[in-house]
Structure 1
Amino acid sequence: MNDATNRSAWTDFNWRLLHPAPLSPLQHVALDQVLLDEVAAGRRAPTLRIWEWGAPAVVIGIFQSLKNEVDAQAAQAHGIQVVRRISGGGAMFIEPGNAITYSIYAPLSLVDGMSFRDAYAYMDDFVLQALGDLGIKARYQPLNDITSDGGKIGGAAQARRGGAVLHHVTMAYDIDAVKMLQVLRIGREKLSDKGTTSAAKRVDPLRSQTGLPREAIIARMLETFRQRNGLRDDTLTAEELAQAERLIREKFGTPEWQSKVP
């Protein structure tokens, strides 16, 4: 425990790794709530979860307007499901194999006394180190972007409840900029005067910056986390998966939740 505050150190915890087979977009957002609540209740050790995507999706933040962010007709035409998560932040355009997404679930004591700005950077420091080891001079751009000289790499979001913190990040490994601009309205407005080539530059995928397979980048991230904090492989419990399915039926899969902010 840090003497200056009530803040915990990363190494105070027995970290667990979840890296299951691909799941549906609705399972992913439901599991974020389930695992945050389980860590808050002390039933699960602090956990790092790597997301594998079973289908394309747009994931919007809890405070975002559905119609302002997403062209529903274009999303449907491309077979892209739109889901809403419990954390803030911006819209994420996801295709399987083209993104690196992870969540950290930890006691709030890990970021005790920190501003949101400092907490974001603190939670992602291991990723900046891992990217640096791969030759990418990545840095944090407040409030919640990971970027480099090549362009934006990814964005973070957080949610805090019940004495626990959820820290969620999606980084672009590869990206179909044309499709992204068809589906995301906000991106289209920001980039309309610059053309599609600028869209590709604004979100610069890790594939072009490293030349490495996606799996190699994830492996470096996990090794960095393990060396710094310790990390033991784990699996989702039957109860956690059942809770996620219940939340999909009652919350995340409902039109009311999707249109929480119309």
Structure 2
Amino acid sequence: MMRTDWRDHDWQLIHTAPQSPTLHMALDDVLTHEVGAGRRAPTLRIWEWASPAVVIGRFQSLRNEVDSEAARRHGIEVVRRVSGGGAMFIEPGNTITYSIYAPQSLVKGLSFQEAYAFFDAWVLQALGELGIKAWYQPLNDITSEGGKIAGAAQVHRGGAVLHHVTMAYDIDAAKMLDVLRIGREKLSDKGTVSAAKRVDPLRSQTGLPREAVIERMVATFRRLHGLSDGSLRADELVQAEALGHTKFSSPAWIGDVA
């Protein structure tokens, strides 16, 4: 297999109406599979969230990461994704989340670290055009002089790579600390004040509405790599909805496996 370049592929954009956290998890599973099987062109998907969520990594312990009682109190759903990495605190309108579903040929021969940097380069360029000096911080962060902006996770399966990123647009730091245990431990000696500094929202750095930041990101991807407007196929949505109701909603998947 020869290594391919971005422009060797006909990239498609999916950006639909808000969807549930569980459906987002299932869509990542289905679309990665479809690209790997050659039934879908490589795709950039911009997520819109229908409700708040905590997304934990594939290998994280639910009880170690999340205060489930606090999550219930705030009406926050806890879901588990197919990739590794850390917990993400999501509120609709406060985050920018995207997935890239790519053939493995795009990162052939690259180390994990090189693959993360490779998949995030276009975003760094988009942020630069918005006046944010941002850089890739190994292994899976995008950071700036004002603090961390985003966290990425990746998984390779069936001939495809899933690379997804959650960016902080605006964050309710107090609520995040209430729900995520790990944040409390890291910050307990420093006080809650520093929580807002650890994840510095894009809103404060750009002064732009979230939609304008997304618009610039999509335009930058289009300019650098080519991008056509696409859509979810009906069969993909049906598959994802089924998986959302079974695998991704099941206590065995979300909870701690003994």
What is the TM-score when the length of structure 2 is the normalising length?
Answer: 0.98
**Counterpart-to-counterpart distance in 2, 1:137 and 1:203:** 15
SS in structure 1 of the partner of residue 151 of structure 2: strand
- Residue 88 (structure 1) aligns with: 84
Question: What's the secondary structure of 2:246's corresponding residue?
Answer: helix
Runs of at least 4 residues off by over 2 Å: none
Q: Is residue 36–residue 105 contact of structure 1 (8 Å, CA) maintained in 2?
A: yes
Partner Cα separation in structure 1 for residue 115 and residue 183 of structure 2:
26
Give the Cα–Cα distance (whole angstroms) in 2 for the partners of residues 159 and 197 of structure 1.
34
2:19 alignment counterpart: 23
Instruction: Look up the SS of the partner of 1:38 in the other structure.
Output: helix
Q: How many Å apart are 1:196 and its aligned residue?
A: 1.4
Residue number in structure 2 paired with 1:118: 114
Structure 2: how far apart are the matches of 1:173 and 1:141? 18
SS at match of 1:104: strand
CA contact (8 A) 2:13 2:228 kept: yes
- TM-aligned CA deviation for residue 15 of structure 1: 0.2
Q: Partners in 2 of 1:111 and 1:38 — Cα distance?
A: 18
Give the structure 2 partner of residue 256 of structure 1: 252
Matched, 1:74 2:70: yes
Percentage identity across paired residues of the two chains: 72
Partner of 2:229: 233
Alignment deviations for residues 131-189 of structure 1 (CA, whole Å, 9 cap, x no partner): 00011000000000000010000100001100100000000000000000000000110
Partners of 1:93 and 1:70 in 2: CA distance: 10
Q: Partner residue of 2:210? A: 214
Shift of 1:6: 2.2
How do 1:42-57 residues align onto structure 2 when only pairs under 5 Å count? 42-57=38-53
Pairwise CA RMSD: 0.9
1:243 matched to 2:243? The reply is no
Distance 2:120 2:173 in 1: 25
Q: Distance in 2 between matches of 1:127 and 1:233?
A: 19
Partner of 2:134: 138
How far apart are the structure 2 equivalents of 1:251 and 1:153?
A: 31
Q: Is the 8 A contact 1:63 1:261 kept in 2?
A: no
What amino acid does structure 1 have at the position aligned with 2:89? F
Give the match's secondary structure for 1:228: helix
Q: Which residue of 2 aligns with 1:167?
A: 163
- Listed as ranges, the gaps of 5+ residues in structure 1 are none
Q: Count residues with an aligned counterpart.
A: 258
The letter for the 2-side match of 1:251 is: K
Would the aligned equivalents of 1:40 and 1:164 in 2 still touch at CA under 8 Å? Answer: yes
- Aligned equivalents of 1:144, 1:186: Cα separation in 2: 17
What is the rounded CA distance, in whole Å, between the counterparts of 2:256 and 2:235 in structure 1?
27
- Which residue of the partner structure matches residue 154 of structure 2? 158
